Structures are given as structure tokens and as C-alpha cells.
């Protein structure tokens, strides 16, 4: 599996924690020779630590570039692509993972700030990254080549009370992903989506504005997935033969059925 990833340049957004961090690590473990990993998020110091961890675990076969990037800022995203150093410009795989949830308020009570931050990160952020990187794919031979893997959520398929905006953002990702896959048919650009169920990450603490007691209550009596469970699926999908598109993957813990 690792052979198919050899020589690839991979961007992971939201790589400073949870699923993004694990995905970066899993790519490195799977293909520890001649891989370039571009790790992006707002917390640059954390990214630098993760870069060191990866290099320590897999050695110098993987080059890691940590980049501070807010996906919700379109000019920052364009600047990111334009200023990539030589050797990291030829991106092959984009994992659109950055995302967040804010609060559990019912629809009429959700604040404007929370609505804006969820849409601008989860939806517009993912579109910003896709629009910035797609031209790199399109200029390749035969109409283009490259992978886009979007991290959606079970919430985009099964909306729940108190999650209306978050669920709407994830449903939007689903529509965007499906439409793009159809737009890019007959090219070698693969557009895929991985939809996790409950995964234990910083995500749930963010949801409760840092209140860990409330966050822990979310998982009471449940055994959530780990970020590694999702990372393994993302890397597996990316490493399929070029003609194989694992378009849509739903993965959730047993108790969540």
C-alpha cells in the first residue's frame, strides 16, 4: 500500500490535533520513504512539535513542512499555495479535515458568531483550499490528476437536535463533494469523502467552549472511535489504485448504530 504513496506531496488541514494529526502520522508510517507532508492549522507551535514527532518516528524519508494557515481566510489560503517552497509545490493529495463545532443551542438561539465560524471554517474553508489546489491538479496531463479527501461527518446524513448548523455544514460538504466528483469525471482527479461518527478528540471540548466536564459527558457509557481509526481509512482510500475511487465512506463506533 505504501508503494502507491511513495513520492507524494500531501497537505493535511487541521493537522494540529485529532484526526488531522493522526492522518499525517498514518501517511508517514505507511510510506516512510520519499514522502512530503505539509501540515497546516492555526497553532503553528503544535504543528512544529508534531513535525518533530513524525521525523523521530519514521526518520528522514519523510519531509514535514508545518505551515500556519487559517482555512477560512481566502487570501491566506491563496498565499499559502503561492509561497510553498520548491519541492513542496506539486501537491498530490489534499485532506480537507479542518473543522469545528460550537455549542448545542437549538436553531433559534444560535449566535451569529457561532453560525459564521462553523460555516466559514467547515464549508468555505474547505472550498477555499479546494479552489486553491485544484489548478495544480488540472495542469497535469490528461485533464488532471490528484486526490481531494473531504472529512464530512455522520452529522451531514443524520442531523440531530442542537446540531442544526454543524449538521448543515456537513450536509453542504456532502453536496459540494458529490457535485465536484461529477464535474471532474473522466479526469484522474479523485474526489472522496470520509464521514466519521463519534471520535474522541479535542473536538468535543471545543463544542462546549472548553468545558471538559460537559465534553466527557458526551462520551459517558460509549466507546468512541480513536483518531487513528479514521486516519487508517483516509490513508487506505488514498492508496487505492488510480482507477479506484472510494467515493464515500461512513465509519462509526458500534454503539452508535
- Mention every residue, 6+ apart, whose C-beta is less than 8 A from residue 15: 21, 23, 24, 39, 40, 41, 47, 50, 66, 97
121 binds ligand NDP (CB under 6 A): yes
What is d(CA 61, CA 32) in angstroms, rounded to the nearest whole number?
6
- Give the range of 84-92, 95-103, 137-145, 241-249 binding ligand NDP by CB under 6 A: 95-103
**Which member of 4, 43, 157, 214 binds ligand NDP (CB under 6 A)?**
43
Pick 18 or 103: Cβ nearer ligand NDP = 18
186: helix, strand or coil? coil
Q: Cβ of residue 66: shortest distance to ligand NDP, in angstroms?
A: 11
170 is catalytic: yes
Burial of 3 (0-12, 13-18, 19+ CB in 10 A): exposed
Give the helix/strand (H/E) hosting 5.
helix 2-5
Residue among 170, 209, 212, 219 flagged as catalytic: 170
Burial of 210 (0-12, 13-18, 19+ CB in 10 A): exposed
CB 51 within 8 A of CB 44: no
Q: Cβ of residue 116: shortest distance to ligand NDP, in angstroms?
A: 11
Interacting positions 130-149 with ligand NDP (CB under 6 A): none
The beta strands (E) that lie in the chain are given as 9-13, 35-41, 62-68, 93-96, 145-151, 188-196, 248-251
26 binds ligand NDP (CB under 6 A): no
Pick 45 or 183: Cβ nearer ligand NDP = 45
94 binds ligand NDP (CB under 6 A): no
**Which member of 65, 81, 100, 246 binds ligand NDP (CB under 6 A)?**
100
**Which member of 9, 72, 128, 177 binds ligand NDP (CB under 6 A)?**
72
Q: Cβ of residue 241: shortest distance to ligand NDP, in angstroms?
A: 26
What is d(CA 25, CA 12) in angstroms, rounded to the nearest whole number?
11
Closest to 42 measured CA to CA, from 105, 94, 117, 112: 117
166 is catalytic: yes
* Active site residue ranges: 166, 170
Binding site for ligand NDP (CB under 6 A): 13-14, 16-20, 41-43, 69-72, 97-100, 121, 125, 151, 153, 196, 198-199, 201-203, 206, 227
Amino acid at each position: 500500500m505504501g508503494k502507491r504513496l511513495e513520492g507524494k506531496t500531501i497537505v493535511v488541514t487541521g493537522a494540529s490535533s485529532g484526526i488531522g494529526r493522526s492522518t499525517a502520522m498514518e501517511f508517514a508510517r505507511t510510506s516512510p520513504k520519499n514522502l512530503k507532508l505539509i501540515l497546516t492549522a492555526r497553532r503553528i507551535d503544535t504543528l512544529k512539535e508534531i513535525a518533530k514527532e513524525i521525523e523521530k518516528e519514521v526518520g528522514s524519508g519523510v519531509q514535514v513542512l508545518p505551515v500556519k494557515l487559517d482555512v477560512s481566510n481566502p487570501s491566506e489560503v491563496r498565499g499559502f499555495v503561492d509561497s510553498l517552497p520548491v519541492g513542496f509545490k506539486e501537491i498530490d493529495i489534499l485532506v480537507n479535515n479542518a473543522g469545528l463545532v460550537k455549542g448545542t443551542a437549538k436553531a433559534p438561539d444560535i449566535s451569529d458568531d457561532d453560525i459564521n465560524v462553523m460555516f466559514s471554517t467547515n464549508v468555505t474553508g474547505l472550498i477555499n483550499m479546494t479552489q486553491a489546489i485544484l489548478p495544480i491538479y488540472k495542469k497535469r496531463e490528461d485533464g488532471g490528476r490528484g486526490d481531494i479527501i473531504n472529512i464530512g461527518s455522520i452529522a451531514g446524513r443524520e442531523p440531530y437536535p442542537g446540531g442544526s448548523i454543524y449538521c448543515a455544514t456537513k450536509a453542504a460538504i456532502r453536496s459540494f463533494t458529490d457535485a465536484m466528483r461529477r464535474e471532474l469525471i473522466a479526469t484522474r482527479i479523485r474526489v472522496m469523502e470520509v464521514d466519521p461518527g463519534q471520535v474522541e478528540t479535542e473536538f468535543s471540548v471545543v463544542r462546549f467552549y472548553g468545558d471538559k466536564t460537559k465534553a466527557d459527558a458526551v462520551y459517558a457509557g460509549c466507546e468512541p472511535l480513536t483518531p487513528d481509526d479514521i486516519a487508517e481509512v483516509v490513508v487506505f482510500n488514498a492508496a487505492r489504485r488510480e482507477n479506484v475511487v472510494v467515493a464515500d465512506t461512513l465509519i462509526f463506533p458500534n454503539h452508535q448504530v
